[in-house]
Structure 1
Amino acid sequence: MEDRRKSGKKFQTSIIIDPSGNIVGEHQKTSITKWEVENGYSRGDSINVVDTKIGSIGLAICYEIHFPEISRIYALKGAKIILNPIGTGMWHESQLKQWTSIASARASENNVYVLGCSHFNDAIPLAFAYDPNGNCLVLSRDANRLITVTIDLNKLGEEQFSQRRPELYGELIKTRMNLNKTHSFLNRTSPRMCL
């Protein structure tokens, strides 16, 4: 949803509401598209899990699921579920396949459930759920109905992050991308990689 609560700024924000109707957490989108920049949206500046009665949840808004670092931070902070609300549908079949492949990978590489959906609009609607092994639990192209899925947080495997080597990953934060080059998904033109 569009969020204008901070004076002079607007954000793409997702919220988590508990069964009583209370807002228990929110996330402002940290990695925004070229269109969002051009239309005056600001970037969020934090990646925090939301603790709920069913477990810790991370919110990767729309295109943020494409950034493995965001999902990894959520997993390192204890998220058991990553929600991926999508502000649009998919614009073509190859994008749908790419998106679901990425969601499956985020689930598997972080040992979490990844659940996502778009709203009904003129694009291809989408709803999905992947288990911590990357297996598809639900994949629906009918976003105009209620879809339920049962997950078992006890099935989360052994914590796999003990084999990580963070001392080798410094290059990830030292190297800045050329922000003038964008991925084809952002500008819907030729496929240029962010280098």
Structure 2
Amino acid sequence: MTSNIIAAVQYGIGPLRSENEFWNRIRRHVAKAESEGAKLIVFPEYLTGQLLSLASKMNNAESCEYLHRFTDEYKSRFTKMSRETGLILLGGTHIHRENAPIGAEARYYNEAFLFFPDGRIEGCKKVHLTPEEQRAWPLLSGDEYKVYETAVGKVAVQVCYDIEFPEGARIVADMGAEIILCPSYTDAAAGYWRVRHCSQARAVENQLYVALSGLVGNMPDVEQVDAGYCQAGIFAPCDKPFPDNGIIGVGSTNRNGVVCASADLDMLAYNRAHGGVAPFYNRRTALYDTYRNS
């Protein structure tokens, strides 16, 4: 049996007194997941947005530049934690302008980074920016889908709003993904449930695991990341050999903590071969293409 414990973090935001306090909070979540036997940990979208509580109020463009200044330390700290623990860490997402076009008004990326114990770093830029991100933030969209070979299986990343578009998840599933990591940030219940329901739908459609992580708590003086609503979880197809509701791990709503569950690849293989339904394999692509091309 190939049993892989993965952890999804419900990260509690709140005002910080120092930068070290932020990194100490991150380390405590990593230590908790490590104590549960996790091999991979997923932190939420806009994770480093909590650092905005250390500064005076800024507009969105100023906030992006402020967060960009932490890029080197962000990468260094997560690389060190991954090496020291031997765990794969998805360090949430971080706003930065590395390799962004020079002179463009929109020149920052909202990018998720995977940190490996051997020092390797892989990045996945958010492909679908929300209407607010497009309208009010100087952000650039990503334009690439990737699947990563890891110690827990073949992993892809869909950042928050990305999971609401079935095409992306189907693309990475066709590329071999067995686990989709979904770092998210939703500030209200409706946004959370969109991401949650779509995460479970993607697990059903593609017969794979989805690990959903999010921010919880409040930072009323930080306009950009003022509140978070989440119930993190690890989801599977609603079919044998999994639970009827497809939930293999879920947290307590809006409570700071870590959710751990086994993303067993043997069980996934059984589902794909012997499940009651096979939506990943029973597609009628020729028929679909007829309508797409008409």
Alpha-carbon contact 1:65-1:102 (below 8 Å) kept:
yes
* Residue 214 (structure 2) aligns with: 118
State TM-score, norm by structure 1: 0.77
* DSSP 3-state at the match of 1:101: helix
Contact kept? 2:127, 2:141, Cα under 8 Å: yes
Q: Deviations over 1:16-67 (max 9, x none)?
A: 122x263442211111112212212111111111111221111000111100
What is the alpha-carbon distance in structure 1 between the residues aligned to residue 187 and residue 118 of structure 2?
A: 30
User: TM-score scaled by structure 2?
Assistant: 0.53
Indicate how the Cα distance of structure 1 residues 172 and 107 shifts in structure 2: closer, same or farther if over 3 A, else same.
farther
**Residue 123 (structure 2) pairs with residue 37 (structure 1):** no
Alignment match, 1:67 = 165
- Aligned pair 1:129/2:227, yes or no? no
Distance 1:172 1:83, change over 3 A: farther
Query: What RMSD, in angstroms, separates the aligned Cα atoms of the two structures?
Result: 2.3
Q: Which residue of structure 2 lines up, in the alignment, with residue 77 of structure 1?
A: 175
Q: Aligned pairs, how many?
A: 172
Higher share of residues assigned helix: 2
Q: Match of 1:148?
A: 260
SS in 2 for 1:74: helix
Gaps of 5+ in 2: 1-93, 218-226, 239-244
Kept after mapping to 2: 8 A contact 1:118/1:143: no
Which residue is equivalent to 1:163? 282
The equivalent residue for 1:186 is none
> Which has the higher relative contact order, 1 or 2, with Cα contacts under 8 A spaced 6 or more apart?
2
Look up the match of 2:99.
Answer: 6
Task: Pick from 139, 162, 166 the counterpart of residue 250 of structure 2.
Answer: 139
Larger radius of gyration: 2
1:109 maps onto 2:205 in alignment: yes
